[in-house]
Amino acid sequence: MTTIIDGKATSAAIKAEIAEKVAEMTAAGMRAPHLAAILVGHDGGSETYVANKIKACAECGFKSSLIRLESTPEAPLAQETLLEEVRKLNNDPEVDGFIVQLPLPRHIDEQAVIEAIDPEKDVDGFHPVNVGKQSVGLPCFHSATPAGIVELLSRYGISPAGKKVVIVGRSNIVGKPLAAMLMQKGTKGDATVTVCHSATPDLASITRSADILVAALGRPGFITEDMVAPGAVVIDVGTTRVPDATRKSGFRLSGDVDYENVAPKCSAITPVPGGVGPMTIVSLMLNTLEAARRKS
């Protein structure tokens, strides 16, 4: 029997735990944690992500603020205007943490914006200081998706310690930070981690050696049955929008794993949607809670 790792239910449970802690905080006279988000333009995916984050704030009892900045080809947002908003949030004592929803329009230097965020409020964990501390194993705001995966494994009693973990994809927001977390000393780490990518020859022979296989490359259905060892745990980070005329939205989310054929072979697998996705937002909530606590 394959265990379907239910990220939706797990994230709901964690959000309820957070809400309880927030209730304790406010009962003790503290204000609720406050997450702010800057959204530039009207990208469909970004609108959805930000809306989900604000909804999660409400579920956790957090205060949330949305700062919308317009940017069109005719009237592109000036980078300095965006940086000014970042500085305002850095200096606002009522804001515990904030995010700038990515991707940003191409004319804006994304890295400059990330580095302008006060690392103490960088609840996305993208600032180099947080990336570096995560690598070294120091307390920091962990990158949301990797932290969500680590938490999901933990809640399902799947220890990575002593296991072979193969990560397919070397992105800065999933592959690399997840590798750093899983190779750290400790019960939530101690894995032997291999990172594969587009320059890896004979990929299938490596993925087949994995006790835990993480697909994070953004190519729908890329991981097929022959690439997975019987009994492996498969974590699917892919969330590509695939056109689908039968849906009202006109698309469906597709993971990087050929779920139908791979699932029967696994000991456990995350579905898409409802697997890793909801956990990413929960990590953001946990980071914001932590930011609020640090200040108190």
Tokens describing residue 252: 């469906």
Residue with smaller CB distance to its own copies, 97 or 277: 97
Minimum separation from the CB atom of position 206 to its own copies (A): 7
Say whether residue 197 binds its own copies (CB under 8 A): yes
Stretch that binds its own copies, among 101-109, 125-133, 215-223, 267-275 (CB under 8 A): 125-133
Among the listed residues 63, 101, 163, 258, the single catalytic one is 101
Task: Please report the sign of the dihedral spanned by the C-alpha atoms of residue 81, residue 87, residue 91, residue 97.
Answer: positive
Does 15 help bind its own copies (rule: CB under 8 A)?
Answer: no
Choose between 157 and 201: whose C-beta lies nearer to its own copies.
201
Catalytic option among 6, 96, 124, 211: 124
Q: Which stretch binds its own copies (CB under 8 A): 67-75, 76-84, 190-198, 220-228?
A: 190-198
Is 184 noted as a catalytic residue in this protein?
no
Buried b / exposed e over 189-199, threshold 16 CB at 10 Å, is bbbebbbbeee
Q: Does 294 bind its own copies (CB under 8 A)?
A: no
Token pair for 159:
């220890």
Q: Is 53 a catalytic residue?
A: yes
* Residues in 128-187 that interact with its own copies by CB under 8 A: 128-138, 161-162, 170, 172, 176-177, 179-180, 183-185
The reply to whether 111 sits near its own copies by the rule CB under 8 A is: yes
Known catalytic membership, residue 101: yes
**Total site size for its own copies, rule CB under 8 A:** 36
Instruction: Count CB atoms within 10 A of the CB of residue 241.
Output: 15
List contacts with its own copies (CB under 8 A): 111, 127-138, 161-162, 170, 172, 176-177, 179-180, 183-185, 190-197, 199-201, 206
Active site residues: 53, 101, 124
